Amino acid sequence: MSTYKLLIVDDHYVVREGLKLIVETSEHYEVAGEAANGKEALTLLQTMKPDVILMDLNMPVMGGLDAMRALKAQNNAIPVIILTTYNEDELMVAGLALGANGYLLKDTSRENLFRTIESAIRGETLLSADMMERVIAARLPVATNPAAEDASLLSEKESYVLRCVAKGFRSKEIAFDLGISERTVKAHLTSIYNKLGVDSRSQAVAAAMERGILPR
């Protein structure tokens, strides 16, 4: 099995060291680099390409949100997982709106850390049910497309896939349920994103609810 490289971006040395200790317990992952702020991370990315970035949000010099905006402007598609604390809900939702592939509390368990990283590598967004509700409640900005107001915009299968996503199902689970491959599920998701003018699962669910395609 391949070894995946991680970039840890956090201004607290103890947090970086703690995550490194957990990561080093697995032969499938390695910490390829560390940065104390977003600016350092962007500099490192000029010479390295990690498979996943673990990104703190509240940092000096350049915070995680600004770093994610810079990545988006550069069309850098490296998956980002937000590192957060219990009192950073607004920042977390903003990060998810920018396309983050999930979030981790800094005291997360080893199991949850690896599960979230694995999801990000697969190109999926792993959100708990309560966080999905917060994302939707935040009314994420969506592209204005008059045609998207039509509930028939999505095909029957696309609508089913999106309903499963809204319930927190993973691509593998959706594929099993429909009797199709994960690649086909991802193709449906790409089509959904294009039709709704979004680029992540959380944004797709929020956009569909805003437009009446999915029930609230």
- What integer is the mean pLDDT of 26-34? 95
| Residue at token pair 């490289």 | 5
* Res 208: pLDDT: 82
Q: How many CB atoms lie within 10 A of CB 11?
A: 17
Integer Cα distance of 204 and 31 in angstroms: 31
Beta bridge partners of 9: 35, 55
Kindly report the CATH number that applies to the domain delimited by 144-210: 1.10.10.10
Other C-beta atoms lying within 10 Å of the C-beta of residue 156 = 8
Q: 4-126 adopts what CATH topology?
A: Rossmann fold (3.40.50)
Separation CA 194–CA 186 (nearest Å): 12
The end-to-end CA distance of the chain, in Å, is 41
Domains 4-126 and 144-210 alike in fold:
no
Hey, where are the domains in the chain?
Answer: 4-126, 144-210
Q: What is the pLDDT of residue 145?
A: 47
Mean pLDDT on 117-127: 82
Segments in the chain forming alpha helices (H):
13-23, 38-44, 64-73, 89-97, 110-121, 129-137, 156-166, 171-178, 182-196, 201-210
Contact present, 161 and 192 (Cβ < 8 Å):
yes
pLDDT tens-place string over residues 145-197: 444 445 578 898 999 999 888 877 888 889 999 999 999 999 999 999 999 88
Give the pLDDT confidence of 73-116 residue by residue, as tens digits: 998 989 999 998 877 777 887 888 788 888 888 888 899 899 88
Nearest to 70 by CA among 9, 138, 29, 140: 9
Residue 202 reports pLDDT greater than 80 = no
